Amino acid sequence: MSRGKYNAFEKLAILEEVSNGEIGFLAAAKKYEINKTTLMKWQRRYKMYGYEGLERRTHLQRYSAELKLRAVMDYLEGGLSQYQIIDKYKIASTRQLFNWINKYNGHSSLKAYKGEAKAMTKGRSTT
């Protein structure tokens, strides 16, 4: 299966087929050859952002350092699941949150990166 196989209109039609009870969730994933996690992601984005949430993204989302830190702290406190956190802060994916958590745990900076220095530490130099 290639990335971007379905456009926003087709994604909406699949989600409506599931929500109308015409087909089950797992059956839809199998019928349309998509991962059930992908289907869940479409459903979550549609509930949160409407039709625009189903459209293909053409630019990267920017997050402030404060938002990143709040999201990481919420995760580390253990009160919310990863999905609840990405919904709460409107983060693109659990992978994005996971990357921030790794940076935080690795004592790296969670800067916003808009014109700022990169957070990565300098690697060892080799000769």
2 against 89, higher pLDDT: 89
The pLDDT value recorded for residue 1 is 40
26-78: pLDDT as tens digits: 999 999 999 988 898 888 888 877 888 787 765 577 888 889 999 999 999 98
What residue segments make up the domains of the chain, in order of their start? 8-54, 65-105
Using the predicted structure, report yes or no on whether residue 99 has a pLDDT greater than 50. yes
Which pairs with CB-CB distance under 8 Å and at least 24 residues apart come from 79-88? 83/44, 87/44, 87/48
SS (H, E, C) 19-57: HCCCCCHHHHHHHCCCCHHHHHHHHHHHHHHHHHHHCCC
The confidence band for 123, taking pLDDT boundaries of 50, 70 and 90, is low
Q: What is the pLDDT of residues 102-121, one digit of tens each?
A: 988 887 777 765 544 444 45
**pTM given for the model:** 0.56
